[in-house]
Every structure is written in C-alpha cells, then in structure tokens.
Amino acid sequence: MSVGLAAAYELTERFLTLLEMKTVRLVRGGDTALRNKQQFYLTPGINFKFTDEVVLRYGVELPVRSVREFDYGVNLGLSWEF
C-alpha cells in the first residue's frame, strides 16, 4: 500500500521543479523484514517541456528512513500527450 503527494513549481515556461513525497507499507508478500513497516521516500526532480504536448521528467527517489527497500532510485520518463 502506498500514498504519494507531489508539488511542482514553474521556474520558466519550459522548466518545472518537482518534489514528490511517498510512503509505502508492505502488508503481505515480499521481504519479511519490510512487512508492516513504514517506508518514506522523497523524490526531487525536474520537468522539461519540449512542447505543450511533450515533457521529459527526471527525478531521484531517496529514502528518508532506515527502513527501505533500496538506497536510491532514478526515474526518467517522456510524456507525449495526443
């Protein structure tokens, strides 16, 4: 089970900064050491708008607590609205 919240701030017409906060709780399956323990991650990142329809997204997911599934994660995506 996970819950997240994200906020963005437009620096220029093409660049937006982003901060996502996410909490995760493993309720069954997976690693038993993580089961029923709260994990918390912060993901700072940027969005670059090539056009109004095409956006490149980049962020680094960082664990805040010692209970974690990984040390860090890199998120990269390209969104194309049509």
pLDDT tens-place values along the chain, 82 residues long: 889 999 999 999 999 999 999 988 877 777 777 778 888 999 999 999 999 899 999 999 999 877 777 788 899 999 999 8
Cβ neighbour number for residue 55 with a 10 Å cutoff = 17
- Contact call for residues 76 and 45 (beta carbons, < 8 A): no
pLDDT (0 to 100) of residue 10: 94
SS3 30: coil
Sequence ranges of the domains in the chain: 2-80
